[in-house]
Structure 1
């Protein structure tokens, strides 16, 4: 189960901070982080209820997983920091 995995730490942000992307209120702050175990953490809007039934037939989501949406701008600005391998 997911909760049994060893804890990872946030190593760095990928892309610009929410403030650099124009979020001055702190209310729209999608973000991407690289973790010490090589995986990535995403802060976004939970849209699981809305999108779950629309997943392609070859996609699956465990009960502990959520479908999280980030803005296109957030991902495009992070692209330069995402490793190729």
Structure 2
């Protein structure tokens, strides 16, 4: 397994448990990384959505489309920095 220079600094929004996921079966999540980037846990949907992307959007070989719930993003909104 490759080592990453990133560290998870904090979760944005409520934990999956606070959003009602008690089984761990559906736990989308958003994290801020030490370099200011964000990491997202979601349902992999590249095959289903790649052909639907707008003409000015593209995926690199190492990129994937993931889906998170609306609730996950809305609950994270308060924690997303303005700059």
TM-score computed with the length of structure 2 as normaliser: 0.95
Q: Which one of the candidate residues 36, 55, 58 is aligned to 2:56?
A: 58
Runs of 4+ in 1 over 4 A off after TM superposition: none
Q: What is the deviation of 1:7?
A: 1.2
Q: Which runs of 5+ in 2 are unaligned?
A: none
Distance (whole Å) between structure 1 residues aligned to residue 35 and residue 66 of structure 2: 20
Structure 1 runs not aligned, ≥5 long: none
Please name the residue that 1:41 is paired with.
Answer: 39
Residue number in structure 1 paired with 2:6 = 8
Q: Deviations over 1:27-55 (max 9, x none)?
A: 00000000000000000000000000000
Aligned pairs, how many?
81
Once residues 7 and 43 of structure 1 are traced to their aligned partners in structure 2, the CA distance between those partners, rounded to angstroms, is: 18
